[in-house]
C-alpha cells in the first residue's frame, strides 16, 4: 500500500477518530474523578456529541470507497499496514451496522444511568436505577442485534467482539464450564489446607489517606509508571483511562484498610504500562491500540496477582508499609502478608475476591448479562437472579443490593460483553508469567527489591510493542508458544494454594 492515496486518507481519518475518542476518554475520567454532581447532564450531552462525531467519521461514504480501493492494491509484505487495513475494515463494519441516533442515545442513557447508579449503590436501593438500567439494556439489545447482523455473529458475540475480538460466547462457556469443575474440586481443598495454617493478622491502622496516597504513588513509580505522563486520582471504582501519553489511574482509600488502595493502584498501573508501551509509530491507528480487553486484563493481573503477591515482592512491600505506617513489624512480615493477601475466601464482592474464587464472580455475570441481552432475564428480576446465582456458586446471600447487583459499574455504563475479559486475562497472565519466569534471569531477586523492570521490559517486548498486529491467541502463541491454555492458570492456583 505504499504511495496509496486511499490508504493515506484512511490513516488521517482514523487518527481523527482516535483523537475524538481520546477526548471522550478524558471526559469520562473527569466525570468519575473530578466533575461535580451537577455536571452530569451536560457531560452526557458532551459524550453523546463526541460519540456521534466519531461514528460519522467512520460511516462517511468515502470511507467505504477508500477501503475498497486500498484492499484492491497488492498486499503489503509489511504486516503492520496489512493488519491496520483489516482492523479499519472491521471498525467500519461495526460502525455502519449501528445507526448514529442509537449511538448518541446510548451515550446519553449510559451517562445518566451511571450517575443514578452511584446514588442507588450508596442507598442500597436498586429501584432508584431500575428504570434507567431498563433503558440502557433496551438500547444494548438494539445495538447487539444490529451488530450481529452486520458482523454475521450472534448478538452477544457481537458485543464481546467490541472488547476482545476472536473469542466468542461458546469459547468462553466451555472455558468457564471447565473452571467450575476445577473450582468445585479444589476450592474445598484450598480451604482445608488454609484452615490448618495460622490465621493472618490484619494490620489495625488507621492508615492516613495522605500517607496511603504517597505510598501508592511510590509503588506505581517503582513498578515503572512515569508521572510525567500519568496521574493518580480518586474515584468510586478504580480504573485506568486517558491516553497512551496521558494515562489516568484512580483508586479509593479506606482509613481502616490500606490494601484496597495499594492493590488497586498496582492493578491499574499494569493497565497504564500497557498503554504507555504501545507502539508509538502506529499511535492513533487501530493496529497501534491494545489487542483487546482480555490482553489488557492480562497485563494488569500479571503485575498484581502473578508478581506483586509473590513472597519476594511482599517482603519489599511489607517493609515499605511498615516504614509508612509504623506499628507492629510482625504485621508486615512476609509470612503474615502472604497469608493475608493470598487468602482463599468465599465473598460477595468481585473486586475483593481472591484469584481462585474471582472467576466464579465473572462466570455468574457472564450468564446474567447474556440472559439480559437475549431477553430471557428482565431488569426487574435482576436482583433476585443475582442473589440466586451467587448462592449457587458461593453459598452466600447478599444482605442488600449494594453488595449484590449494584456493586459493579459496568452494566450501568452500558458495558455488556466485557466481564469475560477479566478471567480470560487472568488465564493469559498465568500463561505469560510461566514463560517469563523461565526466560528472565534474576526475576525473583529483582522483585525482592520492589523492582519489576525485568518483567515489564519482557512484557514490552513480547506484548506491548505488538499493539493489535496480532489477535488474542496469535499474540499468546508468539509469546508463549501456544494459544490460551487454561490449565496454566489451574497449575498456578494449585502451586500457590494447594502445595
What torsion do the CA atoms of 460, 461, 465, 468 make, to the nearest 10 degrees?
-100
* Cell (9 digits) for 119: 446514588
Q: Say if residue 2's pLDDT is above 80.
A: no
Strand pairing of 230-234 and 240-243? unpaired
Q: How many other C-beta atoms are found inside a 10 Å radius of the C-beta of residue 44?
A: 20
What pLDDT score does 4 carry? 79
Cell numbers for 124: 442500597
Angle between helices 259-277 and 453-462 (to 10 degrees): 40
* Cis peptide upstream of residue 206 (ω within 30 degrees of 0): yes
Task: Express each pLDDT in 322-371 by its tens digit.
Answer: 999 999 999 999 999 999 999 999 999 998 899 999 999 999 999 999 99
Mean predicted confidence (pLDDT) in 368-386: 98
The residue-averaged pLDDT of 155-175 equals 96
pTM of the entire predicted model: 0.94
Choose which CATH entry (3.50.50.60, 1.20.1050.90, 3.40.640.10, 1.10.1370.30) describes domain 209-348+420-497.
Answer: 1.10.1370.30
Cα–Cα distance for residue pair 130/143, rounded to 1 Å: 20
**CA 110, CA 15: separation in Å to the nearest integer?**
25
Q: What is the pLDDT of residues 354-364, one digit of tens each?
A: 999 999 999 99
Cell readout for 335 is 509470612
pLDDT value at position 351? 87
Q: For residue 188, is pLDDT > 70?
A: yes
Residue 179: closest CA among 422, 433, 383: 422
Q: Decide if 458 contacts 439 (C-beta within 8 A).
A: yes
The domain ranges of the chain are 5-161, 209-348+420-497
**Residue carrying the nine cell digits 445507526:** 99
Q: Rg (Cα) of the chain, in Å, rounded?
A: 23
User: What's the average model confidence in pLDDT over 103-113?
Assistant: 93
The order of strands in the sheet holding 246-251 is: 230-234, 246-251, 240-243
What is the average pLDDT across 184-201?
A: 96
Query: Quick one: cell of 112?
Result: 445518566
Amino acid at each position: 500500500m505504499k504511495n496509496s492515496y486511499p490508504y493515506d486518507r484512511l490513516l488521517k481519518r482514523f487518527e481523527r477518530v482516535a483523537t475524538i475518542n481520546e477526548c471522550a476518554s478524558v471526559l469520562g475520567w473527569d466525570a468519575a474523578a473530578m466533575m461535580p454532581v451537577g455536571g452530569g447532564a451536560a457531560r452526557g450531552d458532551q459524550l453523546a456529541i463526541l460519540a456521534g462525531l466519531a461514528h460519522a467519521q467512520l460511516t462517511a461514504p468515502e470511507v467505504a470507497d477508500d477501503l475498497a480501493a486500498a484492499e484492491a492494491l497488492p498486499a503489503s509484505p509489511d504486516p503492520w499496514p496489512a493488519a491496520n487495513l483489516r482492523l479499519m475494515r472491521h471498525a467500519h463494519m461495526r460502525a455502519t451496522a449501528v445507526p448514529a441516533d442509537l449511538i448518541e442515545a446510548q451515550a446519553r442513557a449510559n451517562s445518566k444511568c451511571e450517575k443514578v447508579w452511584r446514588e442507588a449503590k450508596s442507598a442500597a436501593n436498586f429501584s432508584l436505577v431500575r428504570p434507567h438500567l431498563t433503558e440502557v439494556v433496551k438500547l444494548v439489545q438494539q445495538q447487539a442485534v444490529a451488530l450481529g447482523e452486520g458482523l454475521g455473529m450472534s448478538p452477544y458475540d457481537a458485543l464481546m467482539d467490541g472488547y476482545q475480538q476472536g473469542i466468542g460466547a461458546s469459547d468462553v462457556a466451555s472455558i468457564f464450564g471447565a473452571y467450575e469443575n476445577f473450582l468445585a474440586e479444589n476450592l474445598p481443598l484450598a480451604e482445608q489446607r488454609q484452615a490448618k495454617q495460622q490465621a493472618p493478622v490484619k494490620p489495625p491502622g488507621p492508615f492516613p489517606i495522605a500517607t496511603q496516597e504517597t505510598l501508592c504513588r511510590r509503588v506505581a513509580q517503582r513498578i515503572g509508571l512515569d508521572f510525567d505522563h500519568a496521574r493518580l486520582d480518586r474515584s468510586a471504582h478504580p480504573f485506568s483511562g486517558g491516553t497512551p501519553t496521558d494515562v489516568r489511574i484512580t483508586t479509593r482509600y479506606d482509613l481502616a484498610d490500606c490494601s484496597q488502595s495499594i492493590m488497586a493502584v498496582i492493578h491499574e498501573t499494569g493497565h497504564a504500562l500497557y498503554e504507555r508501551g504501545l507502539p508509538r509509530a502506529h499511535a492513533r491507528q487501530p493496529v497501534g491500540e491494545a489487542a483487546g480487553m482480555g490482553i489488557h486484563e492480562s497485563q494488569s493481573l500479571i503485575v498484581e496477582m502473578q508478581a506483586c503477591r509473590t513472597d519476594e515482592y511482599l517482603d519489599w512491600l511489607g517493609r515499605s508499609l511498615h516504614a509508612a505506617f509504623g506499628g507492629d513489624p510482625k504485621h508486615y512480615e512476609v509470612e503474615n502478608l502472604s497469608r493475608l493477601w493470598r487468602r482463599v475466601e468465599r465473598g460477595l464482592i468481585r473486586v475483593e475476591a481472591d484469584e481462585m474464587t474471582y472467576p466464579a464472580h465473572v462466570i455468574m455475570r457472564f450468564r446474567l448479562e447474556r440472559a439480559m441481552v437475549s431477553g430471557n432475564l428482565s431488569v426487574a428480576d435482576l436482583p433476585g437472579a443475582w442473589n440466586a446465582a451467587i448462592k449457587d456458586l458461593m453459598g452466600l446471600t447478599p444482605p442488600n443490593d449494594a453488595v449484590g447487583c449494584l456493586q459493579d459499574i459496568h452494566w450501568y455504563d452500558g458495558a455488556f460483553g466485557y466481564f469475560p475479559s477479566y478471567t480470560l486475562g487472568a488465564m493469559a497472565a498465568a500463561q505469560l508469567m510461566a514463560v517469563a519466569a523461565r526466560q528472565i534471569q534474576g526475576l525473583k531477586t529483582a522483585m525482592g527489591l520492589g523492582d519489576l523492570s525485568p518483567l515489564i521490559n519482557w512484557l514490552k517486548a513480547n506484548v506491548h510493542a505488538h499493539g493489535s498486529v496480532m489477535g488474542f491467541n496469535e499474540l499468546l502463541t508468539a509469546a508463549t508458544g501456544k494459544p490460551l491454555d487454561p490449565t496454566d492458570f489451574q497449575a498456578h492456583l494449585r502451586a500457590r494454594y494447594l502445595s
